[in-house]
Structure 1
Amino acid sequence: MRRTGRRIAVIPLLALPLLGLAACGEEDGTGRSAGTGAADEPVDEALVARAAALDTTVDMVYVTEAPGFTLAVQSVGPLNASGFQSSYTDASGAVLHLTVDHAPRDTEDLCPVLTGGEGWFCATDGGVWTASSDASGELRARVEDGRLITVAGDTSVPAEALDAALEAAHQADAEELAATLPDAPDDDGTPVERGDLPANGDGAPVDPVDPENASG
């Protein structure tokens, strides 16, 4: 294992600093990256549209699995310019984060990209990068076909779960895309009704406000 000896800044794992990465490779008309094996797989136009509505492309949508963790569908969203992110939770409430972004052109030392300062220990072994912080948790990362795939969790997520999640992370096939991507907005621009907001209590605000029910 090559250890960088670098200490990195403590940064919340919910907001990993994967910013300003240079895009690599070109995309074909399907939204898959040209030159990858997945580019040969036909992609339904409806799935391409659903990815575009999320400000990403189907080639950036990855799924994974780890013992006891399941996808939190409401967590699925874009990352940076055209990346992808999602979260997986277990029965205890632990959260494992999966992110996919364009890899930097220079992948010799990913520690500054993955962490960015003091407070983390970072090392690499066989193409897998590991960064850890006693206070904040750990992450794992690898580069694949010009993409940077990262899984991260706080101290409640076992290291074994992160290892399994990174190993299992893969580009979603058509069935997995359909199960993962949110529905695209209607043709008239009406957003799809969300199912993760409560019907009462602290739900979304009413607009316009009924003046008879408005408080002073």
Structure 2
Amino acid sequence: MIRAVRVLPLLLLAPLLLTGCGEENGKNEKNEKSVGRGEAAGTGAPAAELGARARALGIAPELVYVTGAPGFALARQSVGVYGGDGFSATYVSRRDGRQLRLYVDRGTVSAADCAERQTACERDGDGVRYLGGGGRHAYAVVKKDHVVRLEGDAGVPRDVVREAAQGVHRPSGEEAAELLPPAPAGDAAPTGDTAPTAPVERGDLPPVGDGAPDNDVDAGG
């Protein structure tokens, strides 16, 4: 089933997207060329590097994917968590600002899911389903235990969304560096073995009594 996005609304990102597209143009030429390569292209980012960067944002490293589409540039400000530990990113048209959104989440796409959402659910290739409806085009790429979805704004042609869906792949080391911010020193992502920190001592608590703060004032008030 599809879960809610835990990232800032894209409307709040609009000023950043407009100012960032120019400097992203050169970087995203590589993304456009990657369309159609699929997951088999390359070996993916080094596990340690990608893992540290993804975990620092609360994203499962195995759920990080990238793609490309002609005329679209990645908006790095949009990269974030989707659902519990999934991944999301938005690509913006340099011509008219329309958006192409990529979501990755655990689960699958079944006939029951399609019926519940009341959308088309056509097979369009091996492991690829068309999920269009309501004037918008969407594709789902079904993996072993997760799904990569591409959704376009109204007006984004179906063939553009399809091409982006066919081109989803695990990021290379260079792509991961452009996609995800550096992890804190020492990979500060929380783990189950993290020891609890000691409580902070307060200087205004009396040594006896119920422990309420001492708010007495001197004679001068």
TM-score (norm 2): 0.59
Per the TM alignment, residue 176 of structure 1 is displaced from its structure 2 partner at its CA by 1.0
Aligned to 1:69: 72
Aligned equivalents of 1:42, 1:60: Cα separation in 2: 13
Per the TM alignment, residue 168 of structure 1 is displaced from its structure 2 partner at its CA by 0.6
- Contact residue 89 and residue 96 of structure 1 kept, 8 A: yes
Aligned equivalents of 1:37, 1:133: Cα separation in 2: 30
Closer, same or farther in 2 for the Cα pair 1:66/1:183, shift >3 Å? same
Aligned to 1:94: 98
Per the TM alignment, residue 115 of structure 1 is displaced from its structure 2 partner at its CA by 7.8
Closer, same or farther in 2 for the Cα pair 1:171/1:46, shift >3 Å? closer
Aligned equivalents of 1:37, 1:138: Cα separation in 2: 25
Aligned equivalents of 1:115, 1:18: Cα separation in 2: 13
Query: How do 1:1-216 residues align onto structure 2 when only pairs under 5 Å count?
Result: 18-19=2-3, 43=46, 45-91=48-94, 92-104=96-108, 107-109=109-111, 112=113, 116-118=116-118, 120-126=119-125, 127-135=127-135, 137-185=136-184
Per the TM alignment, residue 156 of structure 1 is displaced from its structure 2 partner at its CA by 2.0
Given residue 159 of structure 2, which amino acid in structure 1 is its aligned partner?
A: E
- CA deviation string 1:17-51 (max 9, x = no partner): 6139xxxxxxxxxxxxxxx989x867253432211
Aligned equivalents of 1:149, 1:181: Cα separation in 2: 18
Closer, same or farther in 2 for the Cα pair 1:46/1:122, shift >3 Å? closer
Closer, same or farther in 2 for the Cα pair 1:55/1:153, shift >3 Å? same
SS at match of 1:96: strand
Which has the larger Rg?
2
Aligned equivalents of 2:71, 2:45: Cα separation in 1: 32
Per the TM alignment, residue 174 of structure 1 is displaced from its structure 2 partner at its CA by 1.4
- Contact residue 129 and residue 141 of structure 1 kept, 8 A: yes
* Higher helix proportion: 2
Return structure 1 stretches of 4+ with deviation > 6 angstroms. Answer: none
Aligned equivalents of 1:37, 1:134: Cα separation in 2: 33
Identical-pair percentage? 33
Aligned to 1:202: none
Per the TM alignment, residue 147 of structure 1 is displaced from its structure 2 partner at its CA by 2.1
Closer, same or farther in 2 for the Cα pair 1:41/1:86, shift >3 Å? closer
TM-score (norm 1): 0.60
Per the TM alignment, residue 146 of structure 1 is displaced from its structure 2 partner at its CA by 2.2
RMSD: 3.0
RCO (CA 8 Å, sep 6+): is it higher in 1 or 2?
1
Aligned equivalents of 2:168, 2:59: Cα separation in 1: 17
Aligned length, in residue pairs:
151
